[in-house]
Amino acid sequence: MADVRREQWNDAAIRVNQIGFSTGLSKAFSSQVVSGNFEVIDADTNECVLVGTTSPASEDEAAGVRVSLGRLDGLDTPGRYRIRMKNGVESPIFAIAERPYQAVKLALLRNFYFQRCGMELEERYAGPWKHAACHLDHGIIHGDDPSIRRRTAGGWHDAGDYGKYIVAAAKAVADLMLAYEAYPAAFQESVNIPESGNGVPDILNETRYELEWMLLLQREDGAVYHKITTYEFPGLHVMPEDDAAALVFSPVSFTAAGTFAASMAMAARVFAPFDEPFAADCREAAERAWQWMENTESFERVSFRNPRDVKTGEYGDQNVIDEHYWAAAELYRLTGDRTYLIKAEKLVQSGGFPLCELGWRDVGGYGTIALLYALRDAGDRTAMELRERLTEQWIMRADELLDLSKRNGFGVSLIQDQYKWGSNMIVMNNGMHLLIAAELMKDSDIRQQYLEAAAQQWHYLLGCNVLGICYITGYGYNSVMHPHHRPSIADSVPQPVPGIVAGGPNLGLNDTAAAALLIGRAPMACYIDHEDSYSTNENTIYWNSPAVYVAAALDCLNR
């Protein structure tokens, strides 16, 4: 079902972050039909508290409109406000507060609980979105003796379907662990999950639920099964506990082993202060996966391909060098063993992959982050030169993103062909990149510009975009209502599960709903809030995870 409110909001002139703005941080809005003078009105007193002028209007090809950007940085008093343009057009009311993003940050994190597989979601934790335990059967191994069955229950459903995939899981847990390490103060509150109150931050409690499932997919020789799914996707109106089709482990893959080794090495480091035995298990699993990778012949290091009778998500990847790099970097950061550093440096020198990407397919950025931190106090020349090279690459990319953000009327850092499947992940990945660049350049004047650009990516996600839609369910005055998410469709609850990040605009129009309803739209407008539009309106764990990172940063920077 599509939401008729979309067209009404498309006529509005002013786009803002619908949750509001934080004191002390960058504040900006976009005007789509007029530029020039504006004033900000206190919504409670009706007094003008700020006057300003937008940038000159310019054509935004990706958005298909003329747009100008206005800044509100002179306004820092908590309250409720609206913007009035010179032609009398007004924005909806928005807030300025000390911690406006606290609730949405927790909702983004809490959404991983709603994705849990293999356990009952009880009403005291899940509210009206409760449901029975699901996918408790053991699964067979594709191509092996069908009488041999392995445990499958646990972890998170990957997306709007019920499959579970290692390469997707690895990105998601990596983002969450990085968020915790960078902003621990942002994760002091309870998320109200079954483990809350056990002395471990809930972001790590939730991450561990996925990690324990990932451990189930490691074979005795160290190899890792690529995924566990049914043979085909279930229907849209099937609740997880009603999905009773046979479960099958797809074959092992090099990319699964690499991302598994890397994320387990991260877990061994992050969980050591809380649970040394679990951390030791993660380290042992990471090292076994690494050894399997090292013993794998080069001709076997190929992209995963679905078996013919398995029709679920493939998560194939033609380039497997970056997974090898990430694993080497994380194992070096964990152990200090220079064997791993030598391997990582050799892979960097090969130039066979991008060093700064943070996707599920291109994971080189995670290896770079690991080395940037591991080599902070490097004493030998070779290690120092490697860190300098990686820092230069990271900052060069951050400058590109900063320039894109400054030149865009909505402050977003996408180029036109990046409005593709999962474009909102790219926006949040870019936000992560800019925030890490700000940390690397914390003693430089450019740090503040990186922070402001990161905030602009967040504003885009929460409503400062051509459609005026907040892409997080349950938040904002015009948020996603009909995600391609089976539990949200199949349950009897009118509201979707909260805290979902929708995939966002996709000029590829890769599903029938998008192809029928979005033809001729500008790239940024190629989104529809329709349950059938899996290519624009589905969720994934690895779209939520970078959003958690960005939300945590912006929630924490004032504290």
The answer to whether 157 and 163 are in contact (CB under 8 A) is yes
DSSP letter for 148, please: -
What is 182-193 written as a DSSP string?
H-GGGG-S----
Concerning whether 529 is annotated as a catalytic residue, the answer is: yes
The answer to whether 478 and 9 are in contact (CB under 8 A) is yes
Integer Cα distance of 421 and 502 in angstroms? 10
Q: Which two three-digit tokens encode residue 122?
A: 């009880």
Q: Which two three-digit tokens encode residue 413?
A: 């850092």
The answer to whether 112 and 156 are in contact (CB under 8 A) is yes
Q: Please report, as a single letter, which amino acid is at residue 532.
A: D
The answer to whether 485 and 129 are in contact (CB under 8 A) is no
Integer Cα distance of 282 and 260 in angstroms? 10
The answer to whether 229 and 306 are in contact (CB under 8 A) is no
| From 529, 531, 532, 555, active-site residue | 529
Concerning whether 377 is annotated as a catalytic residue, the answer is: no
Beginning with the edge strand found earlier in the chain, give each strand of the sheet holding 21-22 in spatial order: 21-22, 94-97, 79-85, 37-42, 48-53
Integer Cα distance of 123 and 129 in angstroms? 7
Q: Which two three-digit tokens encode residue 36?
A: 């020039």
User: How do strand 164-165 and strand 247-249 relate by DSSP bridges?
Assistant: unpaired
The answer to whether 116 and 132 are in contact (CB under 8 A) is no
What is 374-409 written as a DSSP string?
HTTT--SHHHHHHHHHHHHHHHHHHHHHHHHHHHST
Concerning whether 73 is annotated as a catalytic residue, the answer is: no
Phi, psi of 187 (to 5 degrees): -125, 40
**What distance separates the 2 farthest-apart alpha carbons in the chain?**
75
- Residues paired with 66 in a beta bridge: 59
Active site residues: 484, 529, 538
